[in-house]
Amino acid sequence: MHGPASPGWLLVALCAATGAYCLLRMRSRVEEQRRAAGGEALMGFGMAVMAVPAAVFTPPSWAWPAYAVVFGAAGVRALWAARSDAHHLHHLVGTAAMVYMAVVMAAAPDRHHGHGGSGLPVVTGVLLLYFAGYVLLSGTRLLPVAGGTVGGGWGDRPELARACRLSMGIGMVAMLLTL
């Protein structure tokens, strides 16, 4: 990821914590929630790895194409799952954004160390608009649930699942802004 190290580390921590909670959600009694949590855990940990400041760790040249393949496969899975649940369309957009960022970083490895401007402005802009809208919508959906009753285990708390999705959306906006 581009930009200063401190915000990069904060983004790493946010995404890793989100991924860890999504792993916890995979223990839910609700099958659909378990499946969604798996994809969200992959996204959270993938974003955490991608957000590690370049001054600390420069991935080998094969890492970005490998990233694109992994998230491309996750995108195919999200497309398949979207047949039964429209929420997976958001996962599809998220995986497409991850593939896009990996391709941009693979194509311009010398420019992704804080100089910016290495992505296609139209694609980056469309993804930024989508995720900014998603963050705003997720935030409004979280408000009514915050005062609700708490039930079930840690993996079955809808307000925490929504907060995870919100934090990943914020992380995606931050990553796209630095592209």
Report the share of the chain in percent with pLDDT over 90. Answer: 47
What is the pLDDT averaged over residues 116-132?
A: 88
Model pLDDT, residue 1: 52
3-state secondary structure 82-135: CCCCCHHHHHHHHHHHHHHHHHHHHHCCCCCCCCCCCCCHHHHHHHHHHHHHHH
User: Does 127 score more than 90 pLDDT?
Assistant: yes
How does pLDDT run across 75-116, given as a tens digit for each residue? 999 999 888 878 789 999 999 999 999 999 888 766 544 445
User: Does 144 score more than 50 pLDDT?
Assistant: yes
pTM of the predicted model, to two decimals? 0.84
Cα gap 142→145, rounded to integer Å:
5
What is the pLDDT averaged over residues 41-54?
A: 91
Model pLDDT, residue 53: 86
Cα gap 97→72, rounded to integer Å:
10
CB 162 within 8 A of CB 141: yes
- CA 159 → CA 25, 155, 167, distances in Å? 12, 11, 12
Cα gap 128→116, rounded to integer Å:
15
